[in-house]
Structure 1
Amino acid sequence: PKQVNSAPVTKAPDRPAPQPHPKDQDSLVQRAEHIPAGTRTPMCGHCNQVIRGPFLVAMGKSWHPEEFNCAHCHCSMADLGFVEERGSVYCENCYEQYLAPTCCRCQQKVLGEVINALKQTWHVHCFLCTSCQQPIRNNTFHLEDGLAYCERDYYALFGTSCHGCDFPIEAGDKFLEALGFTWHDTCFVCSVSIKTSVTKTYRSHDYSLLAC
């Protein structure tokens, strides 16, 4: 349905300055598991040789402790957190410095779940509705003048409601305009026969009564 741009619109509050946020709860950082010697003799994921002593388990493979290293700085990650990226492993510092995307709102690196919207990258907790300033967590949002709104606030501010049922007329809904109002096609019915009047000639006795 067409957007009713002439409807009264509540001015959205100015966005507050980005606040410090906690470390990503959905962090991509993992840690290798230490396995003592004698449990089994697996093959190393790096050199493809049998491991006869203690080893590490990470990314579904086994590793010599001295060969589980960052792909960029080559530091040992036996006791450090690591991030897997395109089949390679990186220490946290290298991943954050060279690979992690930057959130366009807070300008900090994203080390967890990423939202790609409006041709930019965001932390989940930084992609906010312009009106209520709450995170848009379900990835369903609408644009108005280039600004993102959660579904609830978008329809409250800009949406068109059906005069028959008071529910919003959403994208893809069939609707019509009559008697100065907008209706779902299934809500525009004859008050006498309770049949749809969409394709018929109708008479209006008042704004609440339709007769086919």
Structure 2
Amino acid sequence: VLCGGLLGTGTFRRYGDEEAVCEGCYVSLVLEKCAGCGEAAEETVTCESMPGKVWHPECFKCSACSEVLEGSFHHKDASLFCRGCFASHFLPRCARCAKPIEDGALTALDCTWHQSCFTCAFCSKPVTSKRFHTTASAPGDVDARPVCEPCHESHVLPKCGACAKPIKSGSCAVFKGQKLHKECFCCVECKNPIQSKYYQQDKGVACEGCVAKATSSGIMVRGVKGRA
């Protein structure tokens, strides 16, 4: 019915409304072409996400490793990939373990991480809070790791020379090479924080007010003058 040739006693196929088609026309004109090898395909495999394409079962294989696809697979553009090759070639890699991230990627510190790999550099616990710190020594440090708030306080922040607690604010007093909370840098006499000038004595530091009182009472004050 397609080429007009006599069927004779040769092999023929039924096509459409019971029309007879010779074997040659059936293969070349009726059968769909395999997207893998381009040859006519009678037994085919299809992919719902790639409509209009069919493959021979043996041609339905990964474009990277050539393994026949079974079970789950991926496709990119017109190419098919097994899960392993797709992950290796196209998925982002974790900044910590360097393995592909299939789902649940977390983006931080200009990198992509598995959520389970985004852990504190000190305690190794997952960092889940939006507020965290980093070990980065400079912007763009590729080796930067997150640091949780408790570890930042205990391992990174400078400690007060008086109370040994972390100094969270940037403003602090410095005395004899030690950093102190401003509220911990107190006059040895009145116990109030020193606001400006002080006198360094053997027993500690005295504020300007206490020194003035002592001087007005006839007490000689010896010490090195300084400023907070």
TM-score by structure 1 length? 0.45
Q: Which has the higher helix share?
A: 2
Point out the structure with max Rg over C-alpha.
2
TM-score by structure 2 length? 0.43
